[in-house]
Amino acid sequence: YLYHNSKLYFAADDGIHGKELWVWDFNCPEFMTINNAISQDTDVKVEKYIVGSNKINAGIKVDYNANKYITLNPGFETKSGARFTASMSGCINFFPSSNTTTSESESKNLPSKPDN
Residue pLDDT, tens place only, 25-84: 777 889 999 999 999 999 999 989 999 999 999 999 999 999 999 999 999 999 999 999
Confidence of residue 105 (pLDDT cuts 50, 70, 90): very low
Cα angle 68, 69, 71 (rounded to 5 degrees) comes to: 160
Residue 16: inside a domain, yes or no?
A: no
CA distance 52 to 113: 13
pTM over 0.85: no
Cα–Cα distances in angstroms (integers) from residue 32 to residues 23, 77, 95, 100, in the given order: 21, 17, 21, 19
Residue 109: inside a domain, yes or no?
A: no
Residue 70: inside a domain, yes or no?
A: yes
Domain count, the chain: 1
Residue 90: inside a domain, yes or no?
A: yes
Residue 62: inside a domain, yes or no?
A: yes
CA distance 99 to 87: 6
Domain holding 61, by residue range, is 28-104
